[in-house]
Chains A and B, each alone.
Chain A
Amino acid sequence: MSNATAVTDASFEADVLNSDETILVDFWAEWCGPCRAVSPILDQIASEHSDKIKIVKLNVDDNPQTAMKYQITSIPAMKVYRAGEVVKTVIGAKPKPALEADLADFLA
């Protein structure tokens, strides 16, 4: 399974919104097949670019408040946060090169 740190409704503000780092939040659920497929790809991206971006995951079943606040209607949804703001949203499982292209601004 994934190596990414789990964040929760309770920890979201401290871990994501108030962080100095660029953080990608992977919104996922156990029952979501495509989420399971994209998880190891995100792990690879995280380890290859650990100086640029931190990747965490939020289980939408266990943390409905945050999922609702960010209007998640489709998962996997990957949102990049900088200084408390969403600066990029990627929806759906994609092959690694496509994800890297979507996230290019944050990995370079």
Chain B
Amino acid sequence: MRQVIIIGSGPAGYTAAIYAGRAGLAPLVVASSVEAGGELMKTTEIENFPGFPDGLQGPDLMFKMQEQAEKFGAEVLLDDVVGLELDGDVKKVTLGSGAVEEALTVIFATGSAYRKLGVEGEERLSGRGVSWCATCDGFFFKQKEIAVVGGGDSAMEEATFLTRFATKVYVIHRKDTLRASKIMQDRAFDNEKIEFLWNKEVTEITGDEKAAGVTLTDTVDGSTSHLDLEGLFIAIGNDPRVHLVHGQLNLTTDGTVAVEGRSSKTNLPGVFAAGDVIDITYRQAITAAGSGTVAALDAEHYLAGLDKTLLDQALGEQPVEPVTVSA
């Protein structure tokens, strides 16, 4: 049995692992088989992570965090969690391999998943011109006309990035103002290849084998129009990834895991949550990292207050012998 299992390997998961590792808790990090490193693995340049004045690549930051966690004794497992039993003193985590890992505490840091538009054609044309990852797929849209849906920082970042490849990038936004930060807005406004389509909502994606266009509905007057496109990048936000804990952990009305005050404590003793899965407001690498720290400290505190026999079990059923000091 383990003392700590951390589920997730974004900034929250790895930072929790660094702190838990340094506290001697030898955490197991279940990092996912294909999404290890989390959302930052799909970004390019990160300019706002403190300590890196020249910026660095998202994947590089995540590999450094993993290395730092492993240096302090974290074990990183490239597998997925398929089942969780979180009540009781001993938590059970079932992995994709079929193995079941047990621990006294679980830190749940699964982040969030891309939100879908939920319109006709989206599912069918996904990977066929419809994408959620500009850095992954932008390359295939050289000399093409494409669009980004959304009005936040990630939409601006994607649109700006995509002008490296595309001849024209429309930004489709359902309001007439952007949620994005000033610096990201200015970059997009200054880019000649970017054209904003305000107060427009994508209501259908058309095309047989590949995306060929979108139907736009005006959010003010309800009129519809068609726009020919060869690619559509969707950046309309994220939803907390909570499907593993439905019915076990209390959720907020926003769909995040509910935690007590500024702590990471969920409604179940020994279960802590951190990162984007508890935060739909800030969603930054650094806030997620801070949240991971809180969770590790909360877990450490919880373990310190546990019955000694349980702890001994977690430490390999080997009670520590009292040390005899010879005279």
The 9 closest A-B pairs by CB, nearest first: A91-B127, A93-B34, A74-B127, A33-B41, A37-B34, A95-B33, A73-B140, A74-B137, A95-B80
Residue of B with least CB distance to A99? B34
Q: CB distance B34 to A75 under 8 Å?
A: no
**Known: A32-B136, A94-B34. Contact between A71 and B209, CB under 8 A?**
yes
Q: Does B126 contact A (CB under 8 A)?
A: yes
Within A64-105, the residues touching B (CB, 8 Å) are: 67, 71-75, 77, 91-97
Q: CB distance A92 to B127 under 8 Å?
A: yes
A89→B59 CA distance, assembly (Å): 27
Contact with A along B47-74 (1 / 0, CB 8 A): 0000000000001000000000000000
Contact of A75 among B33, B36, B37, B137 (CB under 8 A): B137
Known: A73-B131, A73-B137, A74-B131. 12 other contacts (CB 8 A): A29-B139, A31-B135, A31-B139, A34-B133, A37-B35, A37-B36, A38-B34, A71-B128, A73-B127, A92-B127, A93-B35, A96-B96
Q: CB distance A41 to B33 under 8 Å?
A: yes
Q: Does B292 contact A (CB under 8 A)?
A: no
Q: CB distance B34 to A34 under 8 Å?
A: yes
Q: CB distance B210 to A73 under 8 Å?
A: yes
* Min CB gap A17→B, angstroms: 20
Q: How many residues of B contact A (CB 8 A)?
A: 26
Residues of A within 8 A of B126 (CB): 91
A to B CB contacts below 8 Å, 8 in the list: A33-B59, A41-B33, A61-B139, A73-B128, A73-B129, A91-B126, A95-B33, A95-B96
Residues of A within 8 A of B137 (CB): 73-75
Residues of A within 8 A of B175 (CB): none
Q: CB distance B139 to A60 under 8 Å?
A: yes
| Residues of chain B having any CB pair with chain A under 8 Å | 32-37, 41-42, 59, 80, 96, 126-129, 131, 133, 135-137, 139-141, 209-210, 231
Q: CB distance A74 to B136 under 8 Å?
A: yes
Q: How many residues of A contact B (CB 8 A)?
A: 24
Contact of B42 among A33, A41, A94 (CB under 8 A): A33
Q: CB distance A41 to B209 under 8 Å?
A: no
A97→B81 CA distance, assembly (Å): 12
Residues of B within 8 A of A91 (CB): 126-128
* Min CB gap A64→B, angstroms: 9
Max chain B Cβ within 10 angstroms of own Cβ: one of A67, A73, A75: A73
A34→B40 CA distance, assembly (Å): 12
A92→B231 CA distance, assembly (Å): 17
Residues of B within 8 A of A94 (CB): 34
Residue of A with least CB distance to B59? A33
Residues of A within 8 A of B127 (CB): 73-74, 77, 91-92
* Min CB gap A56→B, angstroms: 20
Contact of B141 among A32, A37, A73, A75 (CB under 8 A): A73
* Min CB gap B34→A, angstroms: 4
Residues of A within 8 A of B209 (CB): 71
Residues of A within 8 A of B139 (CB): 29, 31, 60-61
Residues of A within 8 A of B135 (CB): 31
Max chain A Cβ within 10 angstroms of own Cβ: one of B37, B41, B59, B137: B137
Residue of A with least CB distance to B144? A73
Contact of B136 among A34, A67, A71 (CB under 8 A): A34
* Min CB gap A22→B, angstroms: 22
Residues of A within 8 A of B33 (CB): 37, 41, 95-96
A95→B82 CA distance, assembly (Å): 11
Within A20-75, the residues touching B (CB, 8 Å) are: 29, 31-34, 37-38, 41, 60-61, 67, 71-75
